[in-house]
Structure 1
Amino acid sequence: MAITIQQVQKQTQKLAMTPLMQQSLQLLQMPALELEQMALQEIEQNPFLEIAEDVEDDQASVEEDLAAGLESGSAEVEVDDKSSEGAEEPLPDPSVVADDSSGLPLGDEDKEEGVELPGEAEVAHFDDVDVNWDECYDGADSPVYYARSSDEEEHDLEDYVAARPDLRQQLKWQLQMSVATDAERRIGEYIIGNLDSDGYLRVPIEEIAADLGCKPQDVEKVLKLIQSFDPPGVAARSLEECLEIQLRNRKVKDPLAYEIVRKHLNFVKNKRIRTLAQKLGVSDDRVAQVVNLISSLDPKPGSRVQQDTVPYVEPDVIVKKLDDDYYIFVNEGRLSGLRLNGYYRALLQSKDAFSEEERKFALEKFKAAVWLLKNLERRKATLLRVTQAIMEHQRGFLEHGVSALKPLTLRQIADEVGMHESTIARVTSGKYVETPRGLFELKYFFTRGVQQDSGEELSNETVRQLIKELVESEDPANPLSDQAIVAILRKRGINIARRTVAKYRAQLGILPSRLRKTIDSANKD
Structure 2
Amino acid sequence: MQLSYTQQIGQRQSLVMTAQLQQAICLLQLSNTDLQSYIESEAEENPFVEVARPTNDRLREPLLKKHSASDYDDITARAADHAPSLYGHVAAQFDLMFGNARERVIAEQFLEGIEPSGWLSEPLEDIAFRAAITMEEAEDMLDRIQQVEPAGLFARTLAECLRLQAIDKGLMSPVMEGVLNNLPKLAAADLNGLSRACGCDMDTLRDTLKELRCLNPKPGADFEYGDVTQREPDLIVTKGEEGWVVDLNRSTLPSVVVDEAKAQSVTRDKTATEFVGERLNLARWLRRAVEHRNQTVMMVGAEIVRRQAKFLEHGPAHIVPMTLKDVAEKVGVHESTVSRVTTGMLIVTPQGTFGLKTFFSTALSTDGDEAASSAAIRHRIQQLVKDEDANRPLSDDALAKIITDEGTHLARRTVAKYREMLKIPSSFQRKRMAKLNA
Q: TM-score range by the shorter chain?
A: 0.7 to 0.9
Larger deviation: 491-500 or 413-422?
A: 491-500
> Counterparts of 1:257-272 in structure 2 under 5 Å?
257-262=176-181, 264-272=182-190
Task: Give the partner amino acid of 2:349.
Answer: T
Answer whether contact 1:28 1:426 (CA < 8 A) is retained: yes
User: What secondary structure sits across from 2:295 in the alignment?
Assistant: helix
Where do 5+ consecutive residues of structure 2 fail to align? 62-74
Cα pair distance change 1:156/1:383, threshold 3 Å: closer
Say which of 174, 181, 186 aligns to 1:255: 174
- Measured in 2, the distance between the counterparts of 1:403 and 1:517 equals 26
Cα distance, 1:221 vs. partner? 0.5
Pick the aligned partner of 1:288 from 206, 217, 223.
206
- The two structures have a TM-score, normalised by structure 2, of 0.84
Q: Which residue of 2 aligns with 1:59?
A: none
What do the CA deviations read for 1:188-245 (whole angstroms, capped 9, x no partner)? Answer: 2111211222222232333322222221111100101111221211111111222222
In structure 2, what is the equivalent of residue 504 of structure 1? 418
- Please name the residue that 1:444 is paired with: 358
Q: Give how far 1:446 is off.
A: 0.9
8 Å Cα contact 1:284/1:523 also seen in 2:
no
In the alignment, what sits opposite 2:19?
19
Does residue 159 (structure 1) correspond to residue 79 (structure 2)? The answer is yes
**Aligned residue type for 1:266:** P
Give the one of 252, 262, 276 matched to 2:194: 276
Q: Distance in 1 between matches of 2:77 and 2:321?
A: 41
Cα separation, 1, equivalents of 2:395 and 2:139: 47
Q: Name the CA distance, whole Å, in 2 between partners of 1:291 and 1:172.
A: 33
Paired with 2:160 and 2:437, the residues of 1 have a C-alpha distance of 27
| Matched AA of 1:450 | L
What SS does the aligned partner of 1:160 have?
Answer: coil
Aligned-pair distance for 1:371?
Answer: 1.4
Greater mean alpha carbon deviation, residues 6-15 or residues 289-298: 6-15
CA contact (8 A) 1:273 1:523 kept: no
* Aligned pairs for 1:3-82 within 5 A: 14-43=14-43, 45-50=45-50
Q: Which amino acid aligns with 2:203?
A: D
Residue 134 of structure 2: aligned partner: 215
Structure 2 counterpart of 1:19, one-letter code:
A
Which residue number in structure 1 is paired with residue 393 of structure 2? 479
Inter-partner Cα distance in structure 2 for 1:243 and 1:334? 44
Q: Residues 203 and 447 from structure 1, CA distance in 2 versus in 1: closer, same or farther, beyond 3 angstroms?
A: same
Aligned residues: 422
Tell me what 1:200 maps to.
119
The one-letter amino acid paired with 1:34 is D
Give CA-to-partner distance per residue, 1:71-109, whole Å, 9 cap, x none: xxxxxxxxxxxxxxxxxxxxxxxxxxxxxxxxxxxxxxx
| Amino-acid identity (%) | 32
Larger radius of gyration: 1
TM-fit CA distance, 1:427: 1.6
- Residue deviations 1:144-190, cap 9 Å, x none? xxx767477799796223x3222222222222322343333222211
1:257 deviates by 1.5
1:321 maps to a residue whose letter is K
Q: Aligned letter for 1:478?
A: R
Show the counterpart of 1:70.
Answer: none
Task: Tell me the residue number matched to 2:279.
Answer: 365
Instruction: Give the TM-score taking structure 1 as reference length.
Output: 0.71
Letter aligned with residue 426 of structure 1: R
Structure 2 CA distance for aligned equivalents of residues 330 and 158 of structure 1? 21
1:272–1:522: 8 Å Cα contact kept in structure 2? no
